[in-house]
């Protein structure tokens, strides 16, 4: 039997230690209340969901699709909320294809502590653009994740696509 291989993401510790993320209340609900979408990296709001850039991305263009309803339970979402989450996820992949031309995607959600959810109280889908060879030795040797583009630049590039949705 081969040994278990580790996937290291030490840069994610910043997320866990960020006092703004761990403040009182739900981070997603708090960001929505601020109504500072550009500052908070919210690309699009729709009737029952919104799209936001991940502040602690695995890759440039790492998007999240989040229901407006504060819930950790997938089965509390009704048919129209589920449909809109999938529709927005599809739009996210189209936007990423237009802007970044990825060779693939990681798409899904982590539910509950055992499922790996970083923000357990408000479910959200992750859409991570992927390219062949987008992982390298830097995180393993130096605890560094190379990100070629700043979040604000990612926002500027993706925003026109989502503005067309509105």
Q: Span 45-60, mean pLDDT?
A: 94
pLDDT mean over 27-39: 95
Give the pLDDT of residue 102.
Answer: 96
Catalytic, 124? Answer yes
The mean of the pLDDT values for the chain is 85
pLDDT at 97 over 60: yes
pLDDT at 141: 47
* Helix (H) or strand (E) segment spanning residue 27: helix 27-34
Residue 12 has pLDDT above 80, yes or no: no
Measure the CA–CA gap between 166 and 56, rounded to whole angstroms. 26
Record: fold of 10-165:
HIT family, subunit A (3.30.428)
Burial of 34 (0-12, 13-18, 19+ CB in 10 A): exposed
Taking 60 as the threshold, does the pLDDT of residue 47 lie above it? yes
- Of 86 and 20, the structure prediction assigns the larger pLDDT to 86
Q: Which range is most confident: 7-16, 85-94, 131-140? A: 85-94
Whole-prediction pTM value?
A: 0.81
Residue scoring higher pLDDT (111 or 141): 111
Q: Rounded to whole angstroms, how far apart are CA atoms 26 and 29?
A: 5
Q: Which residues of 110-133 are buried (b: 16+ CB within 10 A; e: fewer)?
A: beeeeeebebeebbbbbbbbbeee
44, 62, 91, 124: which is the annotated catalytic residue? 124
Contact call for residues 53 and 43 (beta carbons, < 8 A): yes
């Amino acid at each position: 039997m081969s040994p278990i291989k580790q996937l290291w993401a030490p840069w994610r510790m910043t997320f866990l230690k960020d006092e703004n993320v761990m403040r009182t209340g739900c981070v997603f609900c708090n960001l929505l209340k601020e109504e500072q979408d550009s500052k908070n990296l919210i690309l699009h709001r729709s009737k029952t969901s919104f799209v936001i850039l991940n502040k602690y991305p695995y890759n440039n263009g790492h998007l999240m699709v989040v229901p407006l309803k504060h819930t950790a339970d997938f089965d509390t979402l009704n048919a129209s909320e589920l449909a809109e989450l999938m529709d927005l996820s599809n739009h996210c992949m189209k936007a990423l294809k237009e802007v970044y031309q990825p060779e693939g995607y990681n798409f899904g959600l982590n539910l509950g502590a055992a499922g790996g959810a970083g923000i357990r109280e408000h479910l959200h889908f992750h859409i991570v653009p992927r390219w062949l060879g987008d992982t390298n030795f830097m995180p393993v040797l130096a605890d560094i994740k190379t990100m070629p583009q700043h979040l604000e630049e990612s926002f500027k590039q993706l925003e026109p696509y989502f503005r067309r949705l509105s």
